[in-house]
Amino acid sequence: MSLFTLLMVFLTKYLVPFLFAIGLIHFLYGVIEYFIVGQGGDEERAEHGRDLFLKSIVWIVLALLVHFLVLLIGWIGTVSLRPDSDSNSPNSGITPRVNESILQVPNAPSRQDQ
């Protein structure tokens, strides 16, 4: 495995779920602070709960940005920018070819029967 592949796997499997977990924890703690503890008349705790809501939004947006950045980098790594590329990747050609044998449906008429 290349270093690039290991980095992509690390980001996808560990960093993005970690960022989502932090956002979810902030959100749940903010709900408890604002709606349960803050409604008892403690304005300082209610303000702290609102701050946690904002932090949870920031963490979740950050996790989404990292996730989409990883997807974009992975997509760019698989796209060939030259149409005459000699790469063995499936996206190396510019014109797609239809392969009739990809999906064989039993008892379905073939194009020769029509």
Global pTM reads 0.56
Identify whether 89 is part of a domain: no
85 within domain boundaries: no
Task: Give the pLDDT score at 65.
Answer: 92
Number of structural domains, the chain?
1
Q: Is residue 25 part of a domain?
A: yes
The residue range of the domain holding 57 is 3-78
End-to-end CA distance of the chain: 48
Determine, yes or no, domain membership for 99. Answer: no
In a domain, 93, yes or no: no
Residue 45 falls inside a structural domain: yes
Whether 108 maps to a domain, the answer reads no
Displacement of CA 64 from its chain's centroid (Å) = 7
With a cut of 80, say whether residue 87 has pLDDT above it: no
Residue 83 CA, chain-centre distance (Å), reads 28
pLDDT (tens digit, 9 = 90+) per residue, 99-110? 454 555 566 666
Q: Which residues contact 8 (CB under 8 A, 6 or more apart)?
A: 70, 73, 74
Q: What is the CA radius of gyration of the chain?
A: 25
Nearest to 60 by CA among 104, 27, 28: 27
Q: Is residue 12 part of a domain?
A: yes
pLDDT for 10-63, tens place per residue? 888 888 889 888 889 988 888 888 888 777 777 888 888 888 888 888 888 988
